[in-house]
Amino acid sequence: MRILVTGGAGFLGSHLCDRLIADGHDVTVIDNLFTGRKQNIAHLLQHPRFEFVRHDVIDPFKFEVDQIYNLACPASPPHYQFNPIKTTKTSVMGAINCLGLAKRVRARVFQASTSEVYGDPAIHPQPESYWGNVNPIGKRSCYDEGKRCAETLFFDYHRENGVDIRVVRIFNTYGPRMHEADGRVVSNFIVQALRGQDITIYGDGSQTRSFCYVDDLIEGWLRLMAQTETVGPFNLGNPGEFTMLQLAELTLKLVGGKSKIVYKPLPADDPKQRRPDITLAQKVLGGWTPKVPLEEGLARTIAYFKPRV
């Protein structure tokens, strides 16, 4: 197939491109390189079935393709809060541009949504049927509400125009090719531990997240796009749940060294708990289930960062 990946030079996008190229597809990436890097896809640039176009998804684009994966959007809180208006525009206008293209060329179109649509969840773990608890005017809203609006657009294009959509709500995913200055917790802790710097826990470290290794997530995405039973939304993630203090201690154990744990203020609206209910994905995606335990995934990610920091 001919497949368009927006945001394909980022962390998740570059892993997706590796899989799509390995599976024999023609892949076009469009990315404005805001948080992505050409080095993430450097090994693909000379490949005859791979093409990179520097382009902002806010501006319309036209490609003759069979599938579209819409990933373009900064994902780490410091990056999406750097220019919040741009973040909302990227989610909303990027979705409109992908959906308009999908409608014209009759492509199946995938939306990288997020567990952030649940906000600071009052229901735990979170099933897809939960509508969420999102502050519409806070620091995280540019991302959360942008992604919620994108989901609305996906489902309206589906209902009104018959566009063939797939929507996945991704829970915290980590692995090689995260940006060392990304600001997300896994890369922060690993880079700090490798550099012998203090490990910065925000708040008291009792808040929880569920961490999925990148390969498990991408496998779920491909199965989601291949099936025709349901359009989603699907939760994808690893239901193992850890406090940030547990994550810090595990990272320190694996890296070794002399870093100390220090406590910093908790950012506004930081969700207290998060764990996916993945019953739907496990039922529909042909036995998909996350396979890589946190300790093993962290070890692989540490091995990636070690020569780079």
Give the dihedral sign, CA 169/172/174/180.
Answer: positive
Contacted entry of ligand UDP, ligand NAD, none for residue 145, CB cut-off 5 to 8 Å set by kind: none
Residue with tokens 């209902």: 159
The yes-or-no answer on residue 69 being catalytic is no
Determine which helix (DSSP H) or strand (DSSP E) holds 153, and give its type and residue range.
helix 141-161
Among residues 118, 143, 174, 213, which one is catalytic?
143
- Interaction pattern, residues 157-186, with ligand NAD; x per rule: CB under 6 A: -------------x-xx-------------
In angstroms, the Cα distances linking 77 to 60, 133, 185, 269, 271 are: 26, 18, 10, 11, 12
Contacted entry of ligand NAD, ligand UDP, none for residue 138, CB cut-off 5 to 8 Å set by kind: none
Query: Which range, of 91-99, 162-170, 181-189, 293-301, touches ligand UDP by CB under 6 A?
Result: 181-189
Q: φ, ψ for residue 242 (rounded to 5)?
A: -135, 145
What part of residues 72-111 is at the interface with ligand UDP (CB under 6 A)?
Answer: 76-77
Residue of 3, 5, 7, 126 interacting with ligand NAD (CB under 6 A): 7
What part of residues 228-247 is at the interface with ligand UDP (CB under 6 A)?
Answer: 244
Residue of 5, 12, 201, 244 interacting with ligand NAD (CB under 6 A): 12
Distance in angstroms (rounded) separating the CA atoms of residues 55 and 202: 35
Contact 309, 195 (CB under 8 A): yes
- Interaction pattern, residues 182-221, with ligand UDP; x per rule: CB under 6 A: --xx--x-----------xxx----x-x------------
CA-closest candidate to residue 17, choices 33, 110, 7: 7
Q: Is 200 helix (H, G, I), strand (E, B) or coil?
A: strand
> How many residues can be counted in the chain?
309
Q: Is 51 helix (H, G, I), strand (E, B) or coil?
A: strand
Site membership for ligand UDP, residue 267 (CB under 6 A) = yes
Catalytic machinery residues: 143
- Give the residues lining the site for ligand UDP (CB under 6 A): 76-77, 172, 184-185, 188, 200-202, 207, 209, 244, 267, 270
